[in-house]
Structure 1
Amino acid sequence: MPATALDPIDALQGQPWPAALWRADQLAQLATPTCPSGFAALDAELPGGGWPQGNLCELLLAGPGQGEWRLLAPALARLTRGEAASPGQTVVCIGAPPAGAGSWRSHGPGLATLGLALPQLLWVAVASPADGAWAAEQALRAGGVGAVIWWAWPAAGQHHGPHDSPQHRTQQGTQHSPGIGLDLRRLHLAAQAGRALLWVLRPQATAAQSSPASLRLACRIEAQAPGRLQVHLLKRRGPPREEPLSLDSTAALGAVLAHRLGQPLPQPRPASLPIPTIPAIPPAPTLPKEPPHARPVVVPAPAATPAGRPRALA
């Protein structure tokens, strides 16, 4: 290269960057619109200032129902209720296999308390993760929906990741569920074809696996403050952030529930502490049995002879 030629980066100094180009030390300016998350601290860390529309967003949780509704409630409430000029949009919720759905089925009155319009929620029950991926892709390609949420939980007997068991720590075990990577890529392309929001919820054990998602977050409820959510930014189009965000989610929970969640969770008893035992009460002593006729026999005294009555002859 001639010495007089300018470096491509130097040539762009002082000029607006193209929409598809971003520097790794700065938050990207997305070409697609974004939806505010409802948390100012989170919007300040997200490229574009909110949830990206037409992109795959991945949430990693300790288990279904572990904070995702409170994290997504402000955006979903805005979508389902709409505004004065536009009606509410449909949100498609795709669940996990029926074998595990009974213990974490969503509570309708609780979602209404969070501000969601229940008639705009469309629930889809699936029999396997493959069916869930197919349903999510069809909902995105059909159009007319505001958001798609898929709980991509593995079926019964299927491991979450390569570190769940010793046999999955081998090199062969790192290729757990090869179909999920292809499903995520297909969903990412389907989301880019429209403007819908797409959230795929997966176990936290999959954090080490690669993903085509443009945004990956790990969310959990703080043990000492159940009303707050701890969010880790695992992947974004911008500089890495090591410290997690602590978000206050009590504003939309109502006064009663917010006060209840403001109390710390009970901590389990450490295994090292001995469990106190109640000493046994000794039985009452038994008295020895008395032999027959041991007690003195009381003989009544003879009655006095009435006066004037002759005594009997001896």
Structure 2
Amino acid sequence: MYSTMPISNTNPGLNSGPNPRLDSLLKTPCLWRGSQYQLTHGAAQSGELSGLHTGYPALDACLPWQGWPAHALVEIITPQWGSGELQLVLPLLRRLSAEGKWILWVSPPCLPYAPGLRLAGVDTRQIVVVKAGATHVRTLWSIEKALQNRACALVLAWPGHLTGRHIRRLQLAASTGQTLGVLFHQRNIRHSASVLRMRVASSEDALQVAILKARGSYRRDTVTLARGLP
């Protein structure tokens, strides 16, 4: 039951004027509010919100940025390495390397196969592979520093074990360094601060890409892409 008596404001602090702490919180780039959806969606449609084309029109159409989000953290979740996860970023690797931009690979599970990358049109001279060492702390430190470095256009990283706190910190680093970071891992962290989270599954002739989260959109699409070089 609810009282019919009007609710009075007896707390003078609620109407005491501007709140600097609240204003500072609302300006935090990691904070997203539901009211931003229409702004984000409209900006993407008008071209004001720029993204980096994935090279797959069907995938671009499902993302608010019409491509990869710029200056942000992306998670690609896969059940096992070699499930087609690198195929998703091949068009971007090709384009960025052709533009002479640096691409860092941090702690990949296997050494990148240079002849295969060159066959896909990637200029391997623009790729730097960082072996961060055996410790988890050193790997995360290397990823964070790479994301903060504006000389890097793209950071691909295999961090191993991750927590929500780690992802928040890496997302902030990507925003600060204005770098796109892609994390490959095998566990779905539900409460993640990343801007985009996807799951990849493969069959003999197709990739199934499920969009688990895309900041600024309520859509949860699954896209089927053909295997092979795009």
Q: TM-score, normalised by structure 1?
A: 0.56
1:32 CA displacement: 5.7
1:194 lines up with 2:173 in the alignment:
no
Partners of 1:72 and 1:108 lie apart in 2 by 15
From 231, 256, 262, the equivalent of 2:209 is 231
From 132, 135, 140, the equivalent of 2:147 is 140
1:111 lines up with 2:128 in the alignment:
no
Taking the TM superposition and a 5 Å limit, the aligned residue runs for 1:1-314 are: 21-23=35-37, 27=41, 29=43, 33-82=50-99, 88-96=100-108, 101=109, 104-126=110-132, 127-154=134-161, 180-203=163-186, 206-223=187-204, 225=205, 228-237=206-215, 238-241=217-220, 243-252=221-230
The aligned amino acid for 2:218 is P
| Structure label with greater radius of gyration | 1
Distance 1:148 1:32, change over 3 A: farther
**SS state of the match for residue 46, structure 1?**
coil
Bigger helix fraction:
2
Distance 1:181 1:196, change over 3 A: same
1:207 CA displacement: 1.8
1:229 CA displacement: 1.2
The aligned amino acid for 1:90 is W
Partners of 1:151 and 1:216 lie apart in 2 by 15
Distance 1:28 1:201, change over 3 A: farther
The aligned amino acid for 1:146 is A
Partners of 2:225 and 2:64 lie apart in 1 by 18
Partners of 1:129 and 1:28 lie apart in 2 by 40
The question of whether the paired residues in 2 share the 8 Å contact of 1:136 and 1:150 is answered with yes
1:105 CA displacement: 3.0
RMSD, aligned α-carbons: 2.3
The aligned amino acid for 1:190 is A
1:195 CA displacement: 2.5
1:144 CA displacement: 0.7
1:118 CA displacement: 0.5
Partners of 1:76 and 1:233 lie apart in 2 by 21
Match of 1:299 in 2: none
Q: TM-score, normalised by structure 2?
A: 0.75
Query: Any idea what the Cα deviations from partners look like across 1:240-265, whole Å, max 9, x if unmatched?
Result: 32x5210124344xxxxxxxxxxxxx
Compare relative contact order (CA 8 Å, sep 6+) and give the higher one, 1 or 2. Answer: 2
4+ residue segments displaced more than 6 Å: none
The question of whether the paired residues in 2 share the 8 Å contact of 1:93 and 1:150 is answered with yes
Distance 1:116 1:234, change over 3 A: same
Distance 1:213 1:105, change over 3 A: same
**SS state of the match for residue 228, structure 2?**
coil
Structure 1 gaps, min length 5? 1-18, 83-87, 155-176, 253-314
**SS state of the match for residue 181, structure 2?**
strand
Partners of 2:122 and 2:208 lie apart in 1 by 22
